[in-house]
Structure 1
Amino acid sequence: MSRFLKQRMSTLLMPVIPGAILTIFIFYLDYFQFKLVEKFILFAVFVIVPLVILLLRYDEKNKQQRMVYALMQWLQYPAALLTLFSVMSNKMWGYEGTSIPGMLSLGWLVFTLLLGIYGISIIVIGQGKAAEIAIGAGLVYFFIGGIWFTLYQYQLDLFEASVATHALSSVHFHFSSAIVPIFIGALGRIMTKKSWYPWIVAMDIIGPLLIAFGMIFSKPIEYVGVALFACNIVVYTTYLLSYLRKNVLHPKATFFLGLSCMAFYTVIVLSILYPLLKNIFALTILDFIPIYGALHAFGFVLCGLIGWVYMLDSIQKKNNFQGE
């Protein structure tokens, strides 16, 4: 079984490697003259989502769930390429203002719909378990992110919100809204059951919706959502660090998950020190946004996903050893 898991991990990592290389080119080559928000969307498309798929597990007895999982594996990279072509057609190929970027974005929308369907199947099969609800909700949020991306590529003004808001909403649902519930759900699968855990899951599901609603309609509601979400991540990272300290796991799992937690705390510290740093170094919020974005996307999210992949491998090996 352990050998099978290694082969499975190797197979699933194959689409991540070229996608990661392509993402580096997108961020650093002048040829790709994309907005920063578009670069982060493509990073999620080519790197984050494949790692999420690697973390998912399915019921061997459920044929429908196995079929959806296989479709996600096969369609992820073609859908990611269509997403890249959608952005390129808008920024580099002269089709801005036409329906072509929007039509190309439909490939990613359909793929995120598959993620959402798979998330609903996890919730149904989990029969009310809080951890499964969290993971399923995170996958559904990817679909919402796909909707916002398509609206952005079609340049549609929904709810009287600007097109730029659609792009920010897409990034929000591809990263924080989707990933944090998945992290908290993954933690719930391995932690000792706590009475407070279902409440954390509930707030974790409501928080992203409040943030998205507030971004469009009401700043105070957005602040409430951000506060709830931040408190949830504090609980998650604190418990996770305690778990890592008490349990002997794969060294790489401990390293990457610890790095993920430290990246989040760095964002918190920078946020607290922002007024002081702004005055000392004459910086503006626009100078800090790329720093916050990089720490969250590459630190908290990417390192966290890599860490959970190694955690899954470590726990599987431990269970196989005990079963022998």
Structure 2
Amino acid sequence: MHRFQKKMMRPLFAPMLPGGIVIILIFSLDYFQFELVEKFLLFAAFVIVPLVILLLDYDEKSTHQRTIYTAMKGFQFPAALLVLVSVMSSKIWGLEGTSIPGALSLGWLLLTLLLGMYGIATIGDHKGKIAEIAIGAGLIYFFIGGIWFTLYQYQLNLFQANPDTHALSSVHFHFSSAIVPIFIGILGRIMTKKSWYPWVVAIDIIGPILIAIGMIFSKPIEYIGVTLFACNIAIYTTYLLTYLKRNPLHKKAAFFLVLSCLAFYSVVVVSMFYPLLKNRFDFTILDFIPIYGSLHAFGFVLFGLIGWVYMADSFKQKNVNRKG
């Protein structure tokens, strides 16, 4: 009890402060002449993954899960710094084309491997629990994102795909592919189980693979994957908003989760109006990508993670109060 109270005296998101400062500098200073896709990858390394690790802190862990968690919690910030140095070595220090950026990226690959191992342990320790399978799958997809980042930094061509495709695939797996199953899994922990829920989880696991395959081999497959995945997010956000309306929860948690849902609907609205904007204002796909990426990364993903962390923290406080 004393340890928990001592922990609660510190700001909940204090571990995020160093990474947040780094990201603000990267996005605001002209010194960091990075591609937008690289900035989003750095945002994932310094902010999104630490938030996921913070969220996992509230899990009941087995012995081997605790070992993996301790390792990835301690290694996360050094691994993120290696991502930054890797990108800087290729974009600022003139080492692009050498093996140095790729070698530096291996630190992040190791961190995502730990996330994947934690995901496998989550699935193995909760056999048959659909919500835990979803969370475990999301964590495993971080590792796939780490593989794509390493391929990008080594500038390797794989499956006739160029390094730019590897970068996009890495962003895809660090954000949508990993985060959406985690969100739906956490929702599954608190919701009344529905007959459609296992189907949503199954599509969440299959959808990212279809999108990744489509990005490399076939546009129609990519479109099918994106459509299924978008429909799944629509189901998740609609049910979550209904749940929040019927169940009074921590105010901060509800606030950020609602913002997350609204960010997703904003993406849908912008997508619907893209043809009109394109014809009337010479609005190109290159103008649309930063808007979509920002709404998704800073809106849906970031606000959603903050909301779920607040939710998990409030549940833990209630349990402690009951025991106390």
Partner residue of 1:163? 163
**Would you say how many aligned residue pairs link Structure 1 and Structure 2?**
323
Q: Which runs of 5+ in 1 are unaligned?
A: none
* Cα pair 1:58 1:69 within 8 Å, conserved: no
- The whole-number CA distance in structure 2 between the counterparts of 1:281 and 1:2 is 60
Q: Which runs of 5+ in 2 are unaligned?
A: none
Change (3 A) 1:136 1:6: farther
- The whole-number CA distance in structure 1 between the counterparts of 2:219 and 2:9 is 42
- The whole-number CA distance in structure 2 between the counterparts of 1:122 and 1:10 is 28
Matches within 5 A, 1:47-58: 47-56=47-56, 57-58=58-59
Change (3 A) 1:119 1:158: same
Q: What is the TM-score normalised by the length of structure 2?
A: 0.96
Letter in 2 for 1:145: G
Partner residue of 1:107? 107
* Cα pair 1:141 1:173 within 8 Å, conserved: yes
Query: Over residues 121-176 of structure 1, what are the superposed CA-to-partner deviations in whole Å (9 max), with x where a residue is unaligned?
Result: 00001112110000000000000000000000000000010110000000000000
Query: Over residues 270-321 of structure 1, what are the superposed CA-to-partner deviations in whole Å (9 max), with x where a residue is unaligned?
Result: 1111111222222111111100000000000000000001111122223334
Query: Over residues 176-214 of structure 1, what are the superposed CA-to-partner deviations in whole Å (9 max), with x where a residue is unaligned?
Result: 000000000000000011111011000000000000000
Deviation at 1:13, TM superposition (A): 3.4
Partner residue of 2:16? 16
Matches within 5 A, 1:274-289: 274-289=274-289
Change (3 A) 1:230 1:108: same
Change (3 A) 1:185 1:175: same
Matches within 5 A, 1:81-120: 81-120=81-120
Percent identity (aligned): 72
Letter in 2 for 1:280: R
Change (3 A) 1:191 1:279: same
Query: Over residues 85-116 of structure 1, what are the superposed CA-to-partner deviations in whole Å (9 max), with x where a residue is unaligned?
Result: 00000011111110000000000001100000
- The whole-number CA distance in structure 2 between the counterparts of 1:130 and 1:8 is 31
Q: What is the TM-score normalised by the length of structure 1?
A: 0.96
Partner residue of 1:239? 239
Query: Over residues 236-295 of structure 1, what are the superposed CA-to-partner deviations in whole Å (9 max), with x where a residue is unaligned?
Result: 000100111111111111110000000000000111111112222221111111000000
Structure 1 residue 180 and structure 2 residue 180: aligned? Answer: yes
